[in-house]
Structure 1
Amino acid sequence: MTRSRWRRRSTGRKAARLGAAALLLGGLGAEAAEQGEDAGPYGPLSGDPGLSLGEVVRAAVQRLPERLEPQAREREAEALERRAAAWLPGNPALAISHTNDAVGTDAGNREWEGGLEIPLWRPGQRSARRDLAEGAAAQAQAGREALRLEAAGRVRERLWGLALQRKRVAMARIELETAEALEEKVTRRFELGDLPRSEVLMARDRVVQKEAALAEARSGLRARRADYRRLTGLERTPQQWREPRAEGGKAPAGPEPYAELLRDHPALARARRAVERRRAQRELAGEEAAESPSLMLGTRRERGAGGETVNSLQASLHIPLGQRTQTQYQRASAGVELAQAESRLARLRRDLRGALERAHEAVAAARELLRRARRREETAGETLEMARRAFEAGEYDLIDLLRVQDRYAAARQARAQQALELQRAIARYNQAAGEVPQP
C-alpha cells in the first residue's frame, strides 16, 4: 500500500468517526456541540437530567396569560359559597316614618314608626345557591387542568420541534464533514494527476453548499431556542422527553370508540362542568326570579293631642303572590345558555374523538414510514460503498459519486427525522387523549 493511499483511507476513517460523533450529538442532547455559539435568547440550551417534562409544563403554565381565568373563577366560587352560607338571602332594610298634623288640623298629633325588614329564604333557594357555588368551584378546577393540558400541547410541540431541528443541524454537519473529506481526497488525486482541476472546483463548490445548509439549519435552531425560552422562561430542557403512548396505543373498538379514553379528558371535564354550572344557574334563576318573602319587626310611638303617648311593637310578614310567569321567563332565559353549553360539549366530544382517530392513524403511518426509511438507508448505504470503491478505482466520475452521496444523505436524514417524527406523533396522540405530564 502506498503512502498516499494510506493517507486517503486514514482521512476517510477520520471523517467517518466525526460523522458518527455528530450523528450521536444530533439526538436530544445535541446542544452540547453548540456551546461555543452566541449566548442570549438564541444561545444553546443545556440538558438537565433532573428536569421532567411535567416541570417544564408547570413553568409554561405560569407564563400563560390564560392562567388568570382559573384564578378569577376560584375567587368567584369562594364568593358564591359565602353567599350561599349567609344567614339571609339578601340585605335587611331599615324603615323609619314620621306622621304629624302640623300642616292640617295642628292638634298636636305625632306618630313615629321604625322597623327592620328582614328578607327570608324561599324554599330551595339556599340549596340552589349552594349547587351553583359547587358548580363554580368544579368549573374552576377543571379549567386549571384544561389549561395545563393546553400548556402541555405547546411544550410538546416546542420540544419536538427543537429535537427535529437539532437533528437537521447534526445531519448538515455530517454532510459538511463528508464534503470536506471528499474535497481533500479529490485535491490529493488532482495533485497526483489522477483528476482534472474541474472536479476539484466541483468538490469545493459542494463544501460551500453544505456550509450554507449548515448555517441555515443553525439559524432555524436558534429560532427554536428563542421560541422555547419565550414559552417556558427556562434555560434548560429535559435530558429526554420521549413518552409512552397512552393506553398502550391499542386502537379502541366498539360503537363508542375512545369513550373510555376520553372520559377523564381535561377539556371535556371543563365543558361538562360548564354545563353543570349552567344547569345550576337555571335552577337558581327560577328561585330568585320571584320576590322573596320578608319579615318586618319594628316599634311605633304615638302622641295624641292631649299629650298622651302610646308605644307599641309591630310585626308583619310580606308574602308575594302570583309570580309564576316571571319565574318561568327566567328559567327559560337561563335555559338558552344551558342549551348552548350542552351543544359545545357535544361538539367538543365529537371533535376530540376525531382528533384521536387522526392521531392514532398518524402514529401507525409514522411507524410504517420509519420502517421504509430504514430499508431505504440500508440500500443507499450499500450503493454508496460500491460507488466509493469504484471512484477509488477510477471507474466512477465525481459527479456520479456526488449523486450517490446525495441520495444516501437524503436517506439517512429521512430515517433520522422519521424516528423523531414517530416520537412526536406519539406525543400528539397523548395530547389528543388528554394526557398531562406530571412533575
Structure 2
Amino acid sequence: MGTAPAARAGGLSFHDAVTAAWTADPVRVELSTNRESADARADAAKSWFPGGPVVSAQYFDDHFIGSNIGYTTYQGSVSVPLWLPGQGTATTRVAQAESATIQERLNVEHMAVAVRVLEATGTLVIAQRRHALALSMLGIMQRIDAAVGRAARGGESPRADQQAADAELAASRTEIGLAQEQVDAAEAALTTLLGRPGLPDILSYDARFLARTRLDTPQLIEDNDPRVRAARRGVMAAEEGVRLARASFMPNPEIGVGAIHEGQYGSPWDNRVGVNITVPLPSEARNVPMMADARNKLAAANSQDVQARRMVRVELAQVRARLDAAGTTLGSARASAGALNRRADEMERSWQVGETTLIEALRARQAAYNAILALNAADVGWHAAIVRAAIASGMTP
C-alpha cells in the first residue's frame, strides 16, 4: 500500500483557477456595479446645480367668488437650486472616496475567492487520495480474504478468521463508497466555484516558493493588505462625509425668474417680469442630526480600521504558526506512515507463516491505512499552508 497516492491531475494552474472563480463570482458583479454607480454620482456632482429646475404656475380669477369684475392673473416662474460654498466639491469627493473604497473591497473579495479556491482544492485532493488509498486497501483485503478462504477450505484456518476477513473486506467496500461520496461532493463544490471543471495545481508550491512570500516583513504586509486598505478608504470616505455635512449647513437656496400677466378692468400694467430668490434658513433640527450621523459613520469607520489591522495581524501570526505546524506534522506523519506500513507488511508475512494471528495482521493494516490518510492530509496541508502564506502576503500564485 503506497504512502501517498497521487490525486488526478487537473491541468489547471492555481492562478488560472482563481481567475476563473473571480470571473464567476457574483459578489464581483455586485461590487463592480456599486463602483460604477459611485463614479456616476461623482460625475453628476460636477453639475452646475445640485438639482433640476423648479417650475411653478398660478392662476387667479374673481369669477369663482361671484364678483365677476374681470380680475384675472396668470403667474409663472422657473428657478434652480444653488450649491452652497464648497458643497459641490464635497459631494464629488464623497462619491470618489466611495468609489475608491469599493475598489479596495473588490481586492478583498478577490483575496477571499483565492482562499476559497485553495480550500476547495485541498478538500478535493484529500478526497481523491482517500479514494485511491481505499481502492488499494480493498485490493489488500481481497488478497487476505482469498488466502483465508483457501486456508479455511483446507481446514487450516478457523471460521473466526474467515468472518474477520469478510468483515474487513466489507468495511473496505464501505470506505470506498464514503470516499467516492466525498470526491463527488468536493468536485461539485469546486466546479461550482470555478464555473468549470478542473483541479488546480497546489502541490507544486514548496519551500522554494515560500521564500518569496515576504512573511518576514509583517508591517509591510499589514499595510498592503486589501482589508486594511479598504478600512482606511472607509475612514477617508467618512471624513469626506463629515465635510459634506458641514458644507450643507442649510437647505440649498434657489434663484429664478418669474412673469405675471394680469387682465384687470382699467389697469395699465398687464405684464410684469422679475427675479425671485428663495433662501431657507439654517435649523438645528435639521443640521444636528445630519452632523451626528456623519460623525457616527466616521467613528464606525475608525473602529473598523483598527479591527481590520488587528484581524490581519492575528491572521499573519496564524499563517506562520500553521506553516511551522504543517512542516512538523508532515515530517512526523511521513515517519509514522512509513513505519506502520512496513509493520503491516511484516505482520501479514508473519501471519502467512503462522507466527501471528489474523486479527493482529488486520489491526496492523488498518493502523497503516489511518497513518497514510494522516500523511496525505499533512502533505496537502503543507502545500496549502504555503499557498495560504502567499495569499496573505499579497501574492496570488
* TM-score normalised according to structure 2 size: 0.83
Question: Could you tell me which amino acid in structure 2 is paired with residue 380 of structure 1?
Answer: L
- CA distance 1:381–1:318, shift in 2 (3 Å): closer
1:152 offset after TM fit, Å? 2.3
Q: Could you say which residue in structure 1 is the equivalent of 2:50?
A: 89
1:141 offset after TM fit, Å? 1.8
Q: Could you say which residue in structure 2 is the equivalent of 1:78?
A: 39
Q: Could you say which residue in structure 1 is the equivalent of 2:170?
A: 208
Provide, for residues 297-344 of structure 1, a one-character-per-residue CA deviation record: whole Å limited to 9, x for no partner. Answer: 344567786553475553455555555785455223211122112212
* Identity score, percent: 24
Please say if 1:161 is aligned against 2:140: no
Aligned equivalents of 2:210, 2:43: Cα separation in 1:
41
Aligned equivalents of 1:202, 1:321: Cα separation in 2:
93
1:290 offset after TM fit, Å? 1.0
Aligned equivalents of 2:159, 2:263: Cα separation in 1:
128
Question: Could you tell me which amino acid in structure 2 is paired with residue 90 of structure 1?
Answer: G
1:111 offset after TM fit, Å? 6.4
Q: Could you say which residue in structure 2 is the equivalent of 1:260?
A: 220
Question: Could you tell me which amino acid in structure 1 is paired with residue 7 of structure 2?
Answer: L
Q: Which runs of 5+ in 1 are unaligned?
A: 1-18, 30-46
* Aligned residues of 1:179 and 1:206 also touching (Cα < 8 A): yes
Question: Could you tell me which amino acid in structure 1 is paired with residue 125 of structure 2?
Answer: A
* Aligned residues of 2:108 and 2:226 also touching (Cα < 8 A): yes
Q: Could you say which residue in structure 1 is the equivalent of 2:91?
A: 129
1:155 offset after TM fit, Å? 2.0
Aligned equivalents of 1:396, 1:100: Cα separation in 2:
119
Aligned equivalents of 1:405, 1:397: Cα separation in 2:
13
Moved more, 168-177 or 259-268: 259-268
Q: Could you say which residue in structure 2 is the equivalent of 1:420?
A: 380
Provide, for residues 123-170 of structure 1, a one-character-per-residue CA deviation record: whole Å limited to 9, x for no partner. Answer: 211110110121122122223222222222222221111111111111
Q: Could you say which residue in structure 2 is the equivalent of 1:359?
A: 319
Q: Could you say which residue in structure 1 is the equivalent of 2:138?
A: 176
Q: Could you say which residue in structure 1 is the equivalent of 2:357?
A: 397
Aligned equivalents of 1:388, 1:75: Cα separation in 2:
68
- CA distance 1:430–1:105, shift in 2 (3 Å): same
Provide, for residues 52-107 of structure 1, a one-character-per-residue CA deviation record: whole Å limited to 9, x for no partner. Answer: 33443344345555345314412421331232121212222234456788879998
1:8-23 equivalence runs, <5 A: 19-20=1-2
Question: Could you tell me which amino acid in structure 2 is paired with residue 178 of structure 1?
Answer: I
**Aligned to 1:380, what secondary structure does the other structure show?**
helix
* Aligned residues of 1:92 and 1:118 also touching (Cα < 8 A): yes
Equivalent of 1:331 in 288, 291, 298? 291
Aligned equivalents of 1:423, 1:241: Cα separation in 2:
6
**Aligned to 1:87, what secondary structure does the other structure show?**
coil
**Aligned to 1:94, what secondary structure does the other structure show?**
strand
| Root mean square deviation, CA, Å | 3.5
Provide, for residues 383-423 of structure 1, a one-character-per-residue CA deviation record: whole Å limited to 9, x for no partner. Answer: 34543453444333323322332333333332222111222
Provide, for residues 334-390 of structure 1, a one-character-per-residue CA deviation record: whole Å limited to 9, x for no partner. Answer: 111221122122112212221221222122111101111122233334434543453
Aligned equivalents of 1:248, 1:328: Cα separation in 2:
53
Q: Could you say which residue in structure 2 is the equivalent of 1:294?
A: 254
Q: Could you say which residue in structure 2 is the equivalent of 1:235?
A: 197
- CA distance 1:191–1:104, shift in 2 (3 Å): closer
Q: Could you say which residue in structure 2 is the equivalent of 1:60?
A: 21
Question: Could you tell me which amino acid in structure 1 is paired with residue 382 of structure 2?
Answer: L
1:121 offset after TM fit, Å? 2.2
1:201 offset after TM fit, Å? 4.1
Q: Could you say which residue in structure 2 is the equivalent of 1:282?
A: 242
- CA distance 1:345–1:394, shift in 2 (3 Å): same
Aligned equivalents of 1:99, 1:386: Cα separation in 2:
112
Question: Could you tell me which amino acid in structure 2 is paired with residue 92 of structure 1?
Answer: P
Question: Could you tell me which amino acid in structure 2 is paired with residue 181 of structure 1?
Answer: R
* TM-score normalised according to structure 1 size: 0.76
Please say if 1:410 is aligned against 2:378: no
**Aligned to 2:199, what secondary structure does the other structure show?**
strand
Q: Could you say which residue in structure 1 is the equivalent of 2:6?
A: 27
Aligned equivalents of 1:239, 1:343: Cα separation in 2:
39
**Aligned to 1:199, what secondary structure does the other structure show?**
helix
Aligned equivalents of 2:40, 2:336: Cα separation in 1:
64
- CA distance 1:57–1:239, shift in 2 (3 Å): closer
* Aligned residues of 1:267 and 1:434 also touching (Cα < 8 A): no
Moved more, 240-249 or 82-91: 240-249
Aligned equivalents of 2:210, 2:285: Cα separation in 1:
52
Aligned equivalents of 2:57, 2:340: Cα separation in 1:
99
**Aligned to 1:263, what secondary structure does the other structure show?**
helix
* Aligned residues of 1:289 and 1:330 also touching (Cα < 8 A): no
**Aligned to 1:348, what secondary structure does the other structure show?**
helix
Matched positions, count? 394
Aligned equivalents of 2:350, 2:260: Cα separation in 1:
120
Equivalent of 1:149 in 111, 122, 130? 111
* Aligned residues of 1:300 and 1:313 also touching (Cα < 8 A): yes
